[in-house]
Structure 1
Amino acid sequence: MLDKLEMFIALAKEGHFGRAAERMNIAQPTLSAGIKQLEAQLGVQLVHRGSRFGGLTPEGQTALSWAKRIVEDARQLQDEMRNSRHGLTGEVRLAVIPTAQTWAGRLCTTFAKRHPGVRFTILSRNSREILQMLDDFEADAGISYLENEPLGRVDTAELYDESYIVVCARNSPFADKPKMSWSDLEGQTLALLTPDMQNRRIINRLFAESGVTPATCIEANSIIALVASVASGHCMTVLPQDVAEFVAGGKDVALVPLEGASRPQKVALILPQRDPRTPVLSALLAEARRLPAA
């Protein structure tokens, strides 16, 4: 039944029989037959059918929650059995806010040195998507902000406090300043992350607290795009210091510390509270709690 549940999950996610079959790397008739066999085993109709996929029935919606849980439990069981024989092995799917990508790299490489049998998939997502992926068993862990949005029942390991820095062109009148305040940004042309990013919502709040109305000319969900825009000399941006220093290295831009934030924004590894937790995820949580001191 497990393979049929995986087909069902893929169909629910893609909303299309052809794309779901491609996702599963099987032929579409095989997927359609698998869904019908699952319906026969469960004794209910899971999918509305017509000339194309018509969505899930109410029973299908209920079955989807169970299917995700069963498939994830089976995956964790396989990992734990391998771990008991060969040490820590398997794959960790880590969903990370864009501004924490450097810390994701540090955590994964440090962990991989201790446990070379574990491999990572790092996925860049906004904070709301991360929480949804954890709920849907599409990610094993996340790196996101601890505050501002409800996290639900999770275990956490604080990694760092986010501080902010202005990135400007080297010919900017601000480039040689030892520091800037938020009020210095009034009337300046800015490139900023898109509003769906929690970092942007935090920065918007800090602008509002300082009485600044940002003049935004570019919005992007890519930090590289923001820094490239700044290098053109047309605008400035505000980024967390750690990722700004990493991305701007070797570029024709200047970094100016920004003062006046009301309080630091804590960023952490977050894992859903599930029992039992696999040895790999328990070890990852312990590694994250050691990382800031290291």
Structure 2
Amino acid sequence: MEIRELRYFVAVAEELHFGKAAQRLGMAQPPLSRAITQLERRLGVPLLERTSRKVALTEAGAVLLAEGRAILGAVTAAERRTRRAATAPSSLVLAVKSGTAGGLLTKLLDAYAAEPGAAAVDLLLCEAHQHQQLLQDGQADVALLHLPFDSAAGLDTEALCTEGQVAILPSSHPLADRSRLRMADVAALPELPMARWPGPGGNCPEGPGAEVRNRTQLFQLIALGRTTAVLPESAGADLRRDLAAVPVLDAPPVTTVIAWPPHSRLRAVADLVRVATRR
């Protein structure tokens, strides 16, 4: 099976329309149809169910779509990392969510920079749930994730720290002076519905709370009395004056991990992980 054939099949499988897939690939429809037919003949299984009205994936086609996406992602990552190795051979890209892990990140970068032969570290600030794709397609070499909120599926990880959570409230709110809260207390604030973060698909779940994509945006909305959130307790450090952080006793603990693709062979990644996990 050739990479070209996989690209053709993935385009058709995602569009479920030969005309749209051909347009996306920048080719005519007849050769695309022939290529898919030849691929099915070579594999000995039907990948698509075709009628005059629609195109649908068979069970075998669904498997090849998942595998094909992974393979094409790996190829794209290899191309991107190879080009970067030629232009910046001693650099490393670390993906972090904007506004998170500030203290931990500073300590990690300082400790790594003190290592002999340390590579230059470029920070790639991203939004929730983007880390995994950035690592898979080669835009980032390593990332800091927060479990259970971020997915680490398909990645190698090492735990760095575990912490409790706090509710972030306007400093003028009656609950801001409490020494502790429970999740039920936070959920029972109709005037401050919980903020909604985008899921892996990039869309926010339905609900009354404000849609947010980073902490800068979140903190502004909380200060305006539009929403609230429960975050790792490190988020309460150095808060702006119009916000308060109150510990939430029954909120699940959050574990910060350093993550990287399992096929990574970069010495700089191994060195950064070693420094990050050094006790």
TM range (shorter): 0.5 to 0.7
Tell me the SS of whatever aligns to 1:124.
Answer: coil
Aligned to 2:257: 268
Superposition map of 1:237-252 within 5 A = 237-243=229-235, 249=240
The equivalent residue for 1:192 is 194
Please state whether the residue corresponding to 1:268 is helix, strand or coil. Answer: strand
Relative distance call for 1:68 and 1:50 in structure 2 (3 A) is same
In the aligned structure 1, how far is the partner of 2:15 from the partner of 2:178?
Answer: 51
Partner of 1:114: 119
Structure 2: runs of 5+ lacking an equivalent: 113-117, 201-206
- Say if 1:179 and 1:256, in contact at 8 Å, map to a contact too: no
Match in the other structure for 2:211: 220
Q: CA deviation at 1:169?
A: 2.2
Q: Any idea what SS the aligned residue of 1:191 has?
A: coil
Whether 2:128 is the aligned partner of 1:124: answer yes
Deviation for aligned residue 1:149: 9.9
- Conserved? CA contact 2:164–2:233, under 8 Å: yes
Structure 1 residue 172 corresponds to structure 2 residue 177: no
3-state SS, counterpart of residue 258 of structure 1: strand
Shift of 1:125: 2.0
The one-letter amino acid of 1:255's match is: A
Partner of residue 256 from structure 1, selected from 245, 259, 262 = 245
User: Could you tell me which residue of structure 2 aligns to residue 210 of structure 1?
Assistant: none
Identify the structure with the greater strand proportion. 1
Over 3 Å counting, the alpha-carbon distance change for 1:72 and 1:267 in structure 2 is same
Structure 1 residue 57, shift from structure 2 partner:
2.9
**Which sections of structure 1, spanning at least 5 residues, go unmatched?**
199-215
Check the 8 A contact 1:76/1:278 in 2, yes or no: no
Report whether the alignment pairs 1:283 with 2:268. yes
Query: How much is the aligned-residue C-alpha RMSD, in angstroms?
Result: 5.1
Indicate how the Cα distance of structure 1 residues 235 and 81 shifts in structure 2: closer, same or farther if over 3 A, else same: closer
The CA distance in 2 between the partners of 1:196 and 1:81, in whole Å, is 32
Residues 143 and 267, structure 1, Cα contact 8 Å, conserved in 2: yes
Given that 1:230 and 1:253 are in contact with CA atoms closer than 8 Å, whether structure 2 keeps it comes out as: no
TM-score (norm 2): 0.61
Distance in 2, matches of 1:81 and 1:226, equals 37
For 2:15 and 2:59, locate their aligned partners in 1 and report how far apart those are by CA, in whole Å. 18
How far off is 1:197 after superposition? 6.2
TM score, norm. by length of structure 1: 0.58
Which structure is higher in helix share?
1
Q: How many Å separate the matches in 2 of 1:42 and 1:124?
A: 38
